[in-house]
Amino acid sequence: MRAALWRSASFVGRTVRGEWYGIVVDPVRQLVRRGLSGLTLAFVAAFGVIFFHALAQRPTGAVVVRVLGGVNADLPLWLALLRTPVSLYVPALDLPVWAGITQLFLAFALAELILGRTRTLVVSYATTLAGTLMVRVMIALGAGWGGLGLPPGIGRVLDTGPSAAVVGLFTYVAVVRRAPVVFALTSGSMVWESVAVPNLAGREHLIAIGVAILLALRGRARSRSRLFAGLRRARGVRGGDPAPLQRGIRHPDHLCEHPE
């Protein structure tokens, strides 16, 4: 019994220690090395939400915000796709904006420092777009289908804005860095919220979580494949037979047949 408890405690300790280094220590080191330029996407996202929130406080501004970034399933698909990038910066007016900005800044800052700008943009857009498209599929199914379908009236409800991207980024980082605590605090809480208070936002959050997990697992598989390929090449250089190279030198017409 004591041995089992000790193994469990040791496993938890190693997991928390690894998560601390992967989620806190390494990003802080990246921030010290890169400076504020490592938070470019986080600042852009935060300032974008502040700008659109301030603009939406006036009636005319609210119309402008809705025209530029308001996405719902009743829109033509081409128009929804055109507005989706801007919708990342349009906050839900019925939620506290400053709490949302804090979560948005942390998600983009952590992702940019760990994943880089390109992958951060891809994950945030992919998770948001997946939610937008899947809502259309659910409405097309209609009410029923084991709770998967949605009534047509949902098509007039606005999408979640930046929250799907925030959930997707936290989930992706948690899977890539093997951080169960971060996963439980973000993705786990979203799952619980969608069960306790079922609504459109909860469904889109679940879709964002699923897409982020798939993208993260695919990215880890590709990284593992590149690592193994690099190890095989290194072993071939250290202990391989130089005959193929010699044959390539002797017979330049057939060099392409022996690329190694």
pLDDT tens digits, 57-101: 888 988 999 889 888 888 899 998 999 888 888 877 666 677 778
Cα–Cα distance measured from residue 43 to residue 36, given in angstroms and rounded to the nearest whole number:
9
With a cut of 90, say whether residue 219 has pLDDT above it.
no
Q: Which DSSP string do the residues of 184-199 spell out, in sequence order? A: IIIIIHHHHHHHHS-S
pLDDT given at position 32 = 93
Q: How far is CA 162 from CA 31, 69, 91, 97, 165, in A?
A: 24, 11, 7, 11, 5
Question: Domains along the chain?
Answer: 2-217 (1.20.1540.10)
User: Tell me, what's the pLDDT at 252?
Assistant: 40
Listed range (27-36, 211-220, 247-256) with the worst mean pLDDT: 247-256
DSSP notation for 120-182: HHHHHHHHHHHHHHHHHHHHHH-S-GGGT---GGGGGS---TTHHHHHHHHHHHHHHTT-HHH
| Highest mean pLDDT, choosing among 97-101, 131-135, 254-258 | 131-135
- Per-residue pLDDT, 158: 79
CA 259/CA 248 separation, integer angstroms: 8
> In whole angstroms, what is the distance from residue 199 CA to residue 195 CA?
9
Q: Which two tokens stand for residue 140?
A: 């097309």
Between 228 and 153, whose confidence is greater? 153
Average pLDDT over residues 22-49: 91
CB-based contact 126:168 (threshold 8 Å) = yes
In the block, residue with structure tokens 């989930």: 171
In sequence order, the 6+-apart residues with CB closer than 8 A to the CB of 74 are 155, 156
Task: In whole angstroms, give the CA distance from residue 189 to residue 194.
Answer: 9
Task: Pick the closest to residue 109 from 34, 183, 53, 164 (CA basis).
Answer: 34
Write out the two tokens for 74. Answer: 């009743």
- Phi, psi dihedrals of residue 73, rounded to the nearest 5°: -70, -15
Give me the pLDDT at residue 259, please.
39
Closest CA to 66 of 144, 157, 154: 157
